[in-house]
Chain A
Amino acid sequence: MTEHIDIETLEALALEQLGATETQEATAHVSACDECERELEWLRAERGLMARRSQPDVAINTWPRVVTGMDATASRRRLGRWFAFAGSGMLAAACAALLLIDTGSQRPEVALLFDASAQHEPLVDDKDPAAVLAQAEHEYDVALDTLAAAYDEKRKRLGDELPPEFDEQLRTVRGDLAKARTAAGDDVGARVAVLDAYAGYLHSMQDTVFGFEERLR
């Protein structure tokens, strides 16, 4: 024998994965080559040993835990988008004012009151930008407080399922937004930009609270 069969071919022979012609050729070689024959014996023994090993069961609670983990990942992603948005100060696509309406149900609802790109009935005298901004800022505060209360209530029930830094990041972002609002002073453009950041914050907060609700069901 001048040339041994390569290991992958021998493995395929042991696994009976070769075609008829290749099997015939390989078998002919093996029967005349002690080294390849011994290698093939080992490969077959390995295969036999592996096939005999017991198959551990997948724990019955694995899938429910996977689902819980998937939910937690989705919540973290929503918060991540929120942090990225608030942290970067990027503007929301729509310049919107949000008013939280307490419907009396467990789920707070956020209604779009007006959109800068749409025709709307003015809530206040919109010839005075400062008055419009003041009203929008107030509405944001109300919405934020209500969502924060909903968050706190659900957060307590989730307990250790969420890491403590989750809350820490939340406080930091809200603190940064408050600072940005103070820094904006009477600059209308800056106040609008801050409101946009608040809009993103509220949307993300709403998603997070809804995510908590789903996990608690």
Chain B
Amino acid sequence: MALQESTLATWRGLVARAKDGDVQAFRSIFDRQAPAVRRLLGDLFRDDAAADEATQETFVRAHAKLSSLRDPHKLAAWLFGIARRVWFEQRRSNRRQAPEELAYQKPDGQPGPEAVLLTREADSMLDHALAGLSEQRRLVLLMRIDHELGYEDIAHAMGWSLGKVKNEIHRARGQLRARLQNYLGDGQ
């Protein structure tokens, strides 16, 4: 996501002050970025308590590693990269099982796909469609379409090549659409 110059200047200032030990500046960073980090982790864990805990751990680590952040405008990607590692470690240690897909009842009398996608059932439908993706693909797809990170930023956060990121997002999109089409019938 392209940042305005004034926004960039704000981030630079906050990051510089936080690096110098200004806790209030780090608090400002937390206030601005924690909702996105929590949302991403919620989508990964699909468990509120685990997502809350991981959000906390992400920011503790971020504070400890702040000196390694070279480009303040990549703050979101950098935080997502830390969140991803936290998620990965917690998942590995907890051996959490991916929740089973709940049975989704397709609404009767389907109108056109776009209209259906914007109805009340859409949230549940999307949730189930996302749950069907592998965790890594869900992660990169959400970074792109939910958090609007650029491909290079996603590559940075994931530690992947740009080509792999594009490929995985392309595949994730294909799978997501196929699942949504299943819910919608053959409308598309």
- List residues of A whose CB falls within 8 A of some B CB: 7-8, 15, 17, 38, 41-42, 44-50, 52-59, 62-63, 65-67, 69-70, 73
Tell me whether A49 and B59 are in contact in the complex, defined as CB-CB below 8 angstroms, given that A56-B38, A56-B39, A73-B64 are known contacts.
no
Chain B residue with the shortest CB-CB distance to A66: B59
> Chain B, 4-29, contact with A by CB distance < 8 Å: what is the 0/1 string?
00000000000000000001000100
Contacting A53 at CB < 8 Å: which of B56, B118, B126, B170? B126
Chain A residue with the shortest CB-CB distance to B65: A73
A7 touches B123 (CB 8 A): no
Q: Is B69 an interface residue (CB 8 A)?
A: no
How many whole Å from A112's CB to the nearest CB in chain B?
A: 25
Chosen A-B contacts, 20 in total, with CB atoms closer than 8 Å, are A8-B151, A15-B148, A38-B188, A42-B173, A45-B113, A47-B145, A49-B122, A50-B146, A54-B123, A56-B35, A56-B39, A56-B42, A57-B38, A62-B55, A62-B59, A63-B30, A69-B56, A69-B60, A69-B63, A73-B63
Q: What chain B residues lie within 8 Å of A41 (beta carbons)?
A: 114
B residues 40-74 in Cβ contact with A at 8 Å: 42, 48, 51-52, 55-57, 59-60, 63-64
Q: What chain A residues lie within 8 Å of B64 (beta carbons)?
A: 70, 73
How long is the Cα–Cα vector from A46 to B23 in the complex, in angstroms?
Answer: 38
How long is the Cα–Cα vector from A42 to B179 in the complex, in angstroms?
Answer: 13
Chain B: interface size category: 35 or more
B177 touches A42 (CB 8 A): yes
B52 touches A59 (CB 8 A): yes
